[in-house]
Structure formats: structure tokens, C-alpha cells
């Protein structure tokens, strides 16, 4: 570990500028749309305009005859390509519901790919795609997951799975309850919507028998493995390359039909194939998320303790099950209890297909939905018990003394065990910082004067650092250049900077001298990518362990060259010197690397090269925690909601770069505000999507996005990682809908009024009308 004497810019805890920024502010980024190969073809997908039906025929003749078109494919042309498999491996119970790259017998949502046109330029491909004629026999359309399930191909029903989790005796607990409080609440269908649409380029090098895909993101190594399984290729003959990525948010970078198609086409058409999605496609083809209805009840004791929680939920999965399988159902049922004790618990998730765009994970999957539901319930319990909403929460929080707190629940194959943390203590700090008591008085006065203003709170715990393992490699060459090679991914979150800061700490160098490699499957065998807030926790720890190993190797070689002991040496600004004499004789890392070359005589019997590779294994995820507080003003004339003030408290364990952590929280909140107030994919009864442009899918602009006040604490470093790191990517969004809904209830003086997000002006006006306000 570095000492105070060699501390310099860009080590752990410094809010330094990002390494990623210079190319991005000068237009030198290399996003997938910016990459071209000689002789490339352009692919355009023909999508179903029908929500559900049997394919009778697809007439491609006019498109094939169109000048500049090289090929038009339907499923018949690639019937040897299997449906897209699950990221975590095959699952026979769900296999039936997977999506083929091109629809085989059925179309199941508007946007379902039915044909692919390959042409010399993108304009031609788009023109020709309009000439493909799809002939469908309509089937009954199912829009709502809480309606009776339908038949699925005569082999199953659209209730693809029932996921149940819980512990304790629900029946007895509810039979003996002092009071039972029940609510019925919905989270709407919305999703990540990164600013860059998806894209993929397939390229096949026949001479070396290597298939390449550019435009990978999020989980390049996992997608390589799935593609290898599907296309029957060895990993050494299949490489995925991540370039700059214009936002991820969980939805980008999963293996989609288009990714498979460009790879297959590159081989079979013998030319590179480029596909760039347009926004209309994106809003009906990329993963949707979130849509759930929960009917949830609490068994409450006389003092406000919630002694049992019983939840039944309907998850709207859309047309197929994509790469995640039932992960969202698992995370929802596994994290619903949140930061509270709830000694008896059951959640039953009806995981159901409908005729809408397939759904999967979006930033804070499962926690975002369940936090809204749970915090709505906490407010309802407060009302039913005539208690203060803060007091009800306090009564039920898991205490520091009970930590680490295990539950018989599973989250992604990991049994939940809360990291030590002081939930009530952070609440005290948060309420004090925001001046909760005074705020309540001010809001009361303003309400007395006729204003509709109110406050609300939402508490949560997060999960991060999903295991089991990750590794990293560091190589220092004889010019002193330091390369850190990881299997992580950069989706815009500042991954390179974070990894460079971690490596710089142990290598005693400026973080700007470190090159970080990510998302290149030909550079490292294994990688976890960037999801589940795991990149900094897992990959960062692996980088730290590797940097320590390389540091030890450098000091060992230097000690011999300088005729001293390794213990007496340290590294400052890329040079090794005596701890006691910083200005005395020194050796640069480049000179030490030179001494360790395979041909070097002074290397002795040391392993060649100044390099290292270490692994980090974690047995449980880390569980950071926090809360959100919102203050809103409602305009009764328009139904509009203005967020006057917003506060986020979060315990990160240990900061790598506080500026970037705050950036994650503020950016996450903007998406949370979108989900709470604006964003929704609605459908007609015929299954037509009504939000396929940015004129209909409304994302917050600067005017609707509050700048939150942030309390970032490092009170409880994680016991699961040597650096104490916990994840930062999702806490900005998790608590948003719950806090905003609670504040709206408070502002309009109608407890429990908000039962559904987004609280659009139309919905809020309806609530006000129904209550004569």
C-alpha cells in the first residue's frame, strides 16, 4: 500500500479528471457507427407490424430485385441458427420461450425481426426493406400480464415461470396480525434509452478462420461465449471488440438478434456487415423493462412492527425471454424486503409473456421496482397505524448490531447477507443535513396558504459486486509504459479512470501514465464486463491485487540492482528510490522492466518481464445502502409536478473518485425522475406501440431534472473486499420513484394517492378530480 510520502495526483479518493474525456470532447471517439471496413454491406431489419400471428409467407422477391441489394434473409435462410441463448448458460425450463434471430413460425410483438436486407449502402437497404411483404394469420393479442395467460405454441402457457421466494410462516403470521395493510401498485414499462442507438459490425477473416464483432458492450466475454455456443465456434476463433459506448444502463450490450445476424452474415456473405439501429427501432426492439403489478400486504403489530410481508406480483416479460432468463424476477423477489427486518416474508412472481417488446434489466433491476412498492407500503402502514412515516421505517430497520444480516433469499445465485451498515444512523445524518423538522414546518405553512407542496422519503439497500471472480493483467514495458488489461467494460461510467487510479496507488505513478484495456476478448480470456455495479468492486480489486504483485516484483529487482532490501524502497512518480532518500539514486520502472527482459543477464532466475496477473474471488455481493428525500410542488391546474429539492444519502464504503460517484448518483436520479414522472411505453389493444419517437417517449430535459444535494459517506467499508469498495452505479435511481410518489401524496393531501408510475399530468389530474381537488 502506498505511503504518505509518495502520494500524488490520481490515487484512491481523488476527484481527478477522467482519462476518457479528451477524445470525447474533440470528436475523436470511436463509437460503432464511426467504424467502417472496406467492402462492407449494410443490414436493415424488416420488423413485424403485427403484435401476434402465425407467419403464412414472406415475399422478398421485390426487395431482392432492388438494385444494390445483395441478399434478403428470412428464418428459412438461417434455419440452422438456434434461438438466442441465456447469458448464464442453458435453461431447459425456459428454452421454449427464446427468440430466434429472425422469427420462425410466429411473430410475437410489433418490432419482431422477420427479415434482414443486405445492401451496398444503408439508404438502399432501408428502401428495399419496405418492399418485403409479410403475410400473417392473426392470433389473439395479450397486452396485460395480469390477465389470464394464453397458450404458447400448444406446448405451454404464457406464464413461463413462477418465481417464489420467502421464509417463515405467512398464514399464521397474518392470521394473528393486529392489522393487515394491503396495496395494489404498478410500475410502468420504461427503459434505459441510451443516447447512442445500438450497432454491430460482423467481420470474418476466412484466412485465419476468425469471426469478429464490433460494437460489443456491457458483457463482451459472456456474449463471446454465447455466440461460440450458438455458432459452434471455439473462443480462439471468435472475438468481440468494444469501442466507445454511448450509454449502457443495463439494456445495451446484451446479445440481441441483430448481433447474431451480422456475425452469421459476415461468414455466409463473405463481406463485413454493418448494422446501425435507428431510434424508432430502438424504442420497439431493444429491451424494455420494469413493468410489474404488485398486490402486497403487511401484517402489522400494535407498535408498528411489520411482522410479515406477503407479495404477489405480475411481471410483464413481453414477447420472448431474452438473455437474462428470469433474473429480474429473482432480483425483485430477492431484494423486496430492502433495509427492513420483516421476520416473515413471501413473494410470488408470475413471470408472464405478453405481445410487447421483450423486457430485461434496466439500471437497478428488481430493486427499483421493489423499492417503489415497499416504500409505498411503508407509507400506507404509517397511515393505517397513524404513525409518522419516518417512525414506521425506524421501527423496522435492521440495526447495526444485527449485521452482517443474512436472509434465506437468493439474489443471482448468492444468498443475501447484508454488509455491516448503520441504516438508522445514516437516516439521522440525512434528516439532520436536510433539516427535516424545519422543512416539515415550512411545508405545512405553505400548504396552509393553499400551495400543494410536500415531502417524501424512500429507503433502500443496493447490491453490487456480483461474483464469483475476476482477474487482471498488468504489463510494464522498458519505456515505462503501464498497461492494465481487464475483462471489464466501459459504458461511459469512467471505468478507465477508476482502474488507473487503483493501479496508480500501488505502482506509485501518476494515473495518467496508465493505459487501461477493456472489452477486448482477444486480450484477456475472462471478463465480467460492466453490469450489476460490479466493475469497480470486482475488476478494481483484481487490478489492485495485480498492481501489488507487480510492485513487489519491481522492488525485488530494484533491490538487487541498488544493493539494498526491497523493504527499504518505494516508488514515486514511476521511479524506485530509498524511502529515506526521495531525491537520491533511483531506477525508473522502465529501467527495471529492461532488467527483467527474457534476454537480460541480471534477471537471474526471476520470471521474465515486469508483469503480473492476479485474481479476486468474492463469496457474497456487497450491499451498499441509502435513502432519497424529495420535496415537490404540484400544479393543480396542469397536473404538473415540480421537484423543488432533492436529497440523496449513500454509503459507498470507500470512494475511488468521489466526482465520478456523484456523477453516477445525479445521472441515475435523472433517469429515476423520468420513470417516476414521464417515461412510459404504452400500447393499443391491438398491440401497437405508441411511444416509438422522442416526441412520445418523454425523457427529462435539464428543466425537469433537479440537482440533488448528496451526502456520500464512507462509514462502512465493505467487509467483502480488501479496499472496502461498494458499487455506485445504481443508487441514484433506486429510491427515486418511491420518494417522489410519497412527496406527491403529501403535497396533495391524499395518502396513498399514487399507485402507479409515471405520475403523468393526466394521471395526477385524474387523481385530483376524483378527490374533488
Binding residues vs other proteins (CB under 8 A): 17-18, 20-22, 24-29, 31, 33-34, 67, 123, 192-197, 244-249, 278-279, 491-494, 659-660, 663, 666-671, 693-695, 699, 701-703, 705, 707, 732
Residue 567 backbone zone (phi > 0: left; psi -120 to 50: alpha; other: beta): alpha
Taking the complex as a whole, the smallest distance from the CB of residue 689 to other proteins amounts, in Å, to 16
Q: How far apart are CA 593 and CA 611, in angstroms?
A: 9
For the chain, the 3-state helix, strand and coil shares in percent, each to the nearest 5, are 30, 25, 45
CB of 21 to other proteins, least distance (A): 4
* Cα distances (Å, whole numbers) of residue 2 to 8, 502, 659: 10, 11, 22
In the bound state with other proteins, the residue whose beta carbon lies nearer, of 285 and 296, is 285
Least distance in angstroms from the C-beta of 492 to other proteins: 3
Task: Compute the least distance from the CB of residue 434 to other proteins, in Å.
Answer: 18
Task: Indicate the residue among 194 and 574 with the shorter CB distance to other proteins.
Answer: 194
Closest separation between CB of residue 637 and other proteins, Å? 22
Residue closer to other proteins, measured from CB, 145 or 491: 491
Q: Of 361 and 546, which has the nearer Cβ to other proteins?
A: 361
SS3 631: strand
Nearer to other proteins, 279 or 771 (CB): 279
Rounded-to-integer distance, Cα 634 and Cα 105, Å? 50
Please say which residue, 17 or 184, places its beta carbon nearer to other proteins.
17
Q: Shortest gap between Cβ of 217 and other proteins (angstroms)? A: 10
Distance in angstroms (rounded) separating the CA atoms of residues 688 and 110: 6
53: which strand partners?
107, 138
CA distance 417 to 211: 42
- Check if the beta carbon of residue 288 is closer than 8 Å to that of residue 258: no
485 vs 491 by CB, closer to other proteins: 491
721 touches 695 (CB < 8 A):
no
C-alpha cell at 35: 467504424
d(CA 59, CA 687): 23
Nearer to other proteins, 439 or 659 (CB): 659
Size of the chain in residues? 773
273-276 and 238-241 strand pairing: unpaired
**Least gap, CB of 386 to other proteins (angstroms):** 37
Contact 668, 731 (CB under 8 A): yes
- Angle formed by the axes of helices 423-434 and 436-448, to 10°? 50
Cβ 283 to other proteins, closest distance in Å? 10
Nearer to other proteins, 40 or 173 (CB): 40
Q: How far is 655 from 715, CA to CA, in rounded Å?
A: 11
The neighbouring-strand residues paired with 214 are 201, 241
Task: For other proteins, give the closer residue by CB, 21 or 151.
Answer: 21
Q: Work out how close the CB of 24 gets to other proteins at its nearest, in angstroms, rounded to a whole number.
A: 3
Q: Which three cell numbers stand for residue 351?
A: 413471470
Q: Are 52 and 102 in contact, with CB atoms under 8 Å apart?
A: no
In the bound complex, what is the minimum distance in angstroms from residue 610's beta carbon to other proteins?
Answer: 31
- Looking at the Cβ atoms of 33 and 636, the one nearer to other proteins is 33
The sign of the dihedral angle between the CA atoms of 547, 553, 556, 560 is negative
Q: What is the 3-state secondary structure (H, E, C) of 646-666?
A: EEEEEECCCCCCHHHHHHHHH
Residue with Cβ nearer other proteins (31 or 152): 31
Q: Alpha-carbon distance 553 to 411, whole Å?
A: 39
Q: Which stretch of DSSP H or E encloses residue 230?
A: helix 220-231
Separation of alpha carbons 556 and 50, rounded Å: 68
Rounded CA-CA distance 281/612 in Å is: 45
Smallest distance, Å, CB 680 to other proteins? 16
Least distance CB 764 / other proteins (angstroms):
22
Q: Which residue has the cell 425471454?
A: 321
Amino acid at each position: 500500500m502506498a505511503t504518505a510520502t509518495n502520494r500524488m495526483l490520481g490515487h484512491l479518493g481523488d476527484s481527478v479528471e477522467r482519462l476518457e474525456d479528451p477524445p470525447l470532447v474533440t470528436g475523436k471517439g470511436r463509437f460503432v457507427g464511426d467504424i467502417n471496413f472496406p467492402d462492407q454491406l449494410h443490414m436493415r431489419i424488416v420488423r413485424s407490424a403485427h403484435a401476434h400471428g402465425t407467419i403464412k409467407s414472406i415475399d422478398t422477391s421485390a426487395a431482392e430485385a432492388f438494385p444494390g441489394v445483395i441478399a434478403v434473409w428470412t428464418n428459412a435462410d438461417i434455419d440452422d441458427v438456434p434461438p438466442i441463448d441465456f447469458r448464464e448458460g442453458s435453461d431447459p425450463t425456459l428454452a421454449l420461450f427464446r427468440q430466434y434471430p429472425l422469427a420462425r413460425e410466429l411473430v410475437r410483438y410489433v418490432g419482431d425481426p422477420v427479415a434482414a436486407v443486405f445492401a451496398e449502402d444503408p439508404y438502399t437497404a432501408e428502401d428495399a426493406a419496405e418492399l418485403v411483404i409479410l403475410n400473417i394469420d392473426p392470433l389473439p393479442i395479450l397486452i396485460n400480464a395480469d390477465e389470464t395467460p394464453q397458450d404458447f405454441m400448444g406446448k405451454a402457457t404464457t406464464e413461463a415461470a413462477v418465481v417464489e421466494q420467502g421464509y417463515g410462516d405467512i398464514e399464521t403470521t397474518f392470521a394473528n396480525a393486529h392489522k393487515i395493510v394491503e396495496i395494489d401498485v404498478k410500475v410502468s414499462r420504461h427503459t434505459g434509452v441510451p443516447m447512442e442507438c445500438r450497432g454491430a459490425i460482423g467481420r470474418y477473416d476466412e484466412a485465419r478462420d476468425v469471426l469478429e464483432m464490433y460494437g460489443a458492450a456491457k458483457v463482451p466475454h459472456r456474449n463471446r461465449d454465447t455466440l461460440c455456443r450458438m455458432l459452434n465456434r471455439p473462443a480462439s476463433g471468435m472475438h468481440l471488440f468494444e469501442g466507445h459506448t454511448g450509454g449502457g444502463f443495463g439494456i445495451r450490450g446484451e446479445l440481441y438478434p441483430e448481433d447474431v445476424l451480422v456475425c452469421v452474415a459476415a461468414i455466409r456473405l463473405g463481406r463485413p456487415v454493418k448494422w446501425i439501429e435507428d431510434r424508432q427501432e430502438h424504442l420497439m426492439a431493444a429491451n424494455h423493462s420494469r413493468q410489474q403489478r404488485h398486490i402486497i400486504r403487511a401484517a402489522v403489530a400494535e407498535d408498528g412492527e411489520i411482522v410479515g410481508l406477503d407479495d404477489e406480483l405480475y411481471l410483464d416479460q413481453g414477447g420472448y425471454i431474452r438473455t437474462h432468463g428470469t433474473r429480474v424476477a429473482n432480483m425483485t423477489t430477492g431484494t423486496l424486503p430492502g433495509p427492513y427486518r420483516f421476520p416473515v416474508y413471501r413473494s410470488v412472481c408470475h413471470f408472464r409473456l405478453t405481445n410487447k417488446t421483450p423486457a430485461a434489466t434496466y439500471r437497478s433491476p428488481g430493486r427499483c421496482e421493489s423499492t417503489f412498492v415497499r416504500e409505498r407500503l411503508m407509507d400506507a402502514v404509517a397511515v393505517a397505524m397513524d404513525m409518522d412515516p419516518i417512525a414506521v421505517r425506524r421501527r423496522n430497520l435492521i440495526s447495526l448490531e444485527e449485521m452482517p444480516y443474512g436472509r434465506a433469499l437468493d439474489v443471482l445465485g448468492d444468498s443475501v447477507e447484508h454488509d455491516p451498515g448503520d441504516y438508522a444512523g445514516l437516516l439521522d445524518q440525512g434528516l439532520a443535513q436536510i433539516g427535516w423538522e424545519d422543512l416539515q414546518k415550512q411545508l405545512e405553512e405553505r400548504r396552509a396558504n393553499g400551495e400543494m407542496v410536500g415531502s417524501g422519503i424512500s429507503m433502500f439497500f443496493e447490491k453490487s459486486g456480483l461474483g464469483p471472480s475476476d482477474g487482471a493483467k498488468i504489463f510494464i514495458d522498458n519505456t515505462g509504459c503501464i498497461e492494465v488489461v481487464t475483462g471489464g467494460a466501459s459504458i461511459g461510467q469512467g471505468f478507465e479512470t477508476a482502474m488507473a487510479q487503483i493501479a496508480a496507488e500501488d505502482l506509485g505513478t501518476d494515473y495518467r501514465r496508465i493505459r487501461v484495456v477493456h472489452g477486448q476478448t482477444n486480450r484477456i480470456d475472462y471478463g465480467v464486463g460492466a453490469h450489476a455495479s460490479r466493475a469497480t468492486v470486482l475488476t478494481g480489486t483484481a487490478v489492485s491485487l495485480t498492481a501489488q504483485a507487480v510492485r513487489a516484483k519491481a522492488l525485488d529487482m530494484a533491490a538487487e540492482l541498488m544493493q539494498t532490501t526491497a523493504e527499504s524502497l518505494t516508488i514515486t512518480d514511476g521511479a524506485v528510490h530509498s524511502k529515506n532518500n526521495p531525491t537520491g539514486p533511483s531506477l525508473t520502472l522502465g529501467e527495471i522492466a529492461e532488467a527483467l527482459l527474457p534476454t537480460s543477464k541480471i534477471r537471474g532466475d526471476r520470471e521474465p518481464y515486469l508483469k503480473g496477473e492476479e485474481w479476486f474471488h468474492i463469496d457474497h455481493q456487497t450491499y451498499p445502502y441509502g435513502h432519497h428525500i424529495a420535496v415537490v410542488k404540484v400544479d393543480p391546474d396542469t397536473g404538473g409536478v415540480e421537484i423543488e429539492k432533492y436529497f440523496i444519502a449513500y454509503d459507498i464504503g470507500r470512494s475511488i473518485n468521489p466526482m465520478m460517484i456523484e456523477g453516477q448518483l445525479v445521472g441515475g436520479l435523472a433517469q429515476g425522475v423520468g420513470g417516476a414522472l414521464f417515461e412510459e411505453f404504452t400500447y393499443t389493444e391491438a398491440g401497437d406501440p405508441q411511444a416509438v419517437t422522442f416526441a412520445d417517449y418523454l425523457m427529462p430535459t435539464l428543466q425537469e431534472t433537479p440537482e440533488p444535494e448528496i451526502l456520500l459517506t464512507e462509514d462502512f467499508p465493505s467487509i467483502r473486499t480488501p479496499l472496502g469498495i461498494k458499487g455506485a452505479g445504481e443508487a441514484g435511481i433506486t429510491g427515486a420513484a418511491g420518494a417522489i410518489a410519497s412527496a406527491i401524496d403529501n403535497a396533495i393531501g391524499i395518502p396513498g394517492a399514487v399507485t402507479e408510475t409515471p405520475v403523468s399530468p393526466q394521471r395526477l389530474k385524474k387523481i385530483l378530480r376524483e378527490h374533488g381537488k
